[in-house]
A and B are shown apart, each in its own frame.
Chain A
Amino acid sequence: MSEKTVFVQGNEVCAEAALYAGVGFYAGYPITPSSEIMEHMSRRMPGLGLKFLQMEDEIASLAAIIGASLTGHKVMTATSGPGFSLMQETLGFAVMAEIPCVVVNVQRGGPSTGLPTQAAQSDVYQARWGTHGDHAIIALTASNHQDIFELTVDAFNMAETYRTPVVLLLDEAIGHLREKLQIPDKGELEVVKRLRTAVPDGVDYHPYLPREDGRLPMSDFGDKHRYNVTGLYHNMWGFPTTNPDVIHGLIHHLVDKIENNLHQITRYKEYYLEDAECVLVSYGCSARTALHTVKNRRQRGMKIGLLELQTLWPFPANLVRDKCSDARYIVVVEMNMGQIVHEVKRAVDDPERVFLANRVDGEFITPTNIKNVLRVITGRGV
């Protein structure tokens, strides 16, 4: 572990981790509470000879990084709810054209302009289904600075490995929180390089013909192979088609390349689950409160544990079912009207055991909020 320990803001951690992962191009549009990521990039990237660009809106920001990804760069943009809404069509383009990119959403309260300066976790379903049409997506989250660093690097690695946009769902509380970070040494965390084609000049390169392992080696714009990229259903050349067999194959490829690698994509942490009769399932900033509650209740003899999800999409249903199989009660702790709770209910054998402890007023969820739900469940009054 590195000697270098710093005391920094979560948004800055995300930006530094992106640099560690090899980001070469950033484009963005300022929006609270994500702006510090962009500001940090504007300070750091030019000095490193990297490209930073402030665009006219969030649509243009995501479009620009896709355009830059095709020339061979690792790319990122960051935003919050309203900007993430604007990005949805372009996110779908990145899914369809299989463009590696990382989109950070530092969540705030919604809908609409909502609560710009206060925390929420209400964009979980938007990350999954915000863009139109069937598709699969990877969405990751983190609850502390060390994890933000690692998950940001993971986000870049997964974007390159699966040729897909990866959504990193942070939130206002973690993004603006200042705490300790030990900066990993170079080489301490794995950094996945872009897979480029070995097809030589003069031989046909099929940009959309997956290898046996489902991966598609890329060729940079400006390099020897010239090919077409489109948001339409396309054949192995990248040329538009309405051939039913090709369409069938492509949509299955887009979904399978992610869903079939769920075990590789799943990141989670667990605390005191061995004998837990009550399992809290949480993620992001809420997991901090959940962990505090678990430690506090353990001291009082309660058999309680925490499953902290870091991969939200594709949802690790088997993991949740296994970890909750012996629990009498499962309480999902999240700062929204109930989003991941529905996934947990679908995952476990007996959904009647699943309860929601939430808070949606802009204030950070407290141990008392969780304790009150536990009291009701265990029949000890409100």
Chain B
Amino acid sequence: MAVQDYIRSRFFPHIWCVGCGHGTVLNVLLRTVENLGLDKRDIVMVSGIGCSSRMPGYVDFHSLHTLHGRALAFATGTKMSKPELTVLVPMGDGDALAIGGNHFIHACRRNIDMTAIVLNNRIYGMTGGQFSPLSGPGVVASTAPNSTYDPAFDVMRLAVGAGASFAARGSTYHVMELQKLLEKAISHKGFSVVEILSPCPTHFGRKNRQGDGVEMFEWLKDNTARLGSKAAEENGELITRGIFVDEERPEYCEQYQSSLEHSRED
């Protein structure tokens, strides 16, 4: 089956800007789904609000485009009520970690079997380039004209600390690696988080003089390194890519199922 079979071409063209990384993420994600041999009928894609959250509209899965920050809460109800479904949740950085931070940590804690994909462009794109909790200090944004001083979350440490049993970081430059990370994340039984560094040339790039889409992709190549690599060890400034945690832990829906059997015995 070709990737085209997984999209709703009726609703194209998509809303993403030239040079945006989100289209690359969608491309890699659909190849991953194809490689894993998943049936479209068994996949639900749930999202919140933002540029990345428009993704469900374009894919030929069951799709639910919800409220800003709340995607994981909606997805939890969907998964819990029909555990045989594969649930994919693309989210933006503001969506997942600012307004949706509470749902994010609790979804990690429950270890419910779904894949949260955080498309991190370090900016609020849809609303015009305001800074996000992943912007970090020294970023110019439309609500930080003299640059930010807010510290950023480290999504990987947050996810691991909150109890996610799989957490990985990739980038839209390193697509083959990203596909492997997504394959592992979707196959993983439990809550998995994949943070994907995805450039926003329109808002982040322009305001922070990082150039166009191509230059921002180059930036990802130059400023990231594989976890445990020599480059990462030698230069602590580089953003690390790879798997930060991959553990087997009791999955939430299975735990509920075994508690059902327990209460039937009572």
Please give the residue numbers on chain A whose beta carbons come within 8 Å of chain B beta carbons, in ascending order.
24-25, 27, 46-47, 49, 51, 53, 55-57, 59-61, 63-73, 75, 89-90, 93, 221-224, 226-232, 237, 239-240
Contact = CB atoms under 8 A, between A and B. Distances in A.
Interface string B231-265: 00000000000000000000000001001100110
B26 interface: no
A359 B255 CA distance: 48
A63 B81 contact: no
A90 B67 contact: yes
Given A221-B82, A222-B82, A231-B67, A67 B77 contact: yes
Contacts, number: 132
Chain B interface residue bracket vs A: 35 or more
B85 A221 contact: yes
Contact of B74 (A64, A222, A224, A232): A64
A63 B66 CA distance: 9
Interface in B43-95: 44, 46, 56-57, 60-67, 70, 73-82, 84-85
Contact of B75 (A55, A67, A240): A67
23 contacts: A25-B80, A25-B81, A27-B77, A46-B263, A47-B260, A49-B260, A49-B264, A51-B80, A60-B70, A60-B102, A60-B103, A64-B74, A66-B74, A68-B77, A69-B77, A221-B62, A222-B62, A226-B41, A228-B56, A228-B65, A230-B64, A239-B10, A240-B65
Chain A binding surface, main DSSP class? mixed
Interface string B31-44: 00000000011101
A227 B62 contact: yes
A228 B260 contact: no
A56 B109 CA distance: 11
Contact of A64 (B44, B61, B63, B77): B77
A228 B63 contact: yes
B73 A55 contact: yes
Contact of A63 (B40, B73, B79, B256): B73
A67 B62 contact: no
B65 A67 contact: no
Given A47-B264, A53-B77, A227 B70 contact: no
A68 B65 CA distance: 14
A221 B41 CA distance: 8
Contacts of A221: 44, 62, 64, 78, 82, 85
A73 to B, nearest CB: 5
B99 to A, nearest CB: 10
B106 interface: yes
Which of A63, A67, A232, A237: most chain B CB closer than 10 A? A67
B81 A229 contact: no
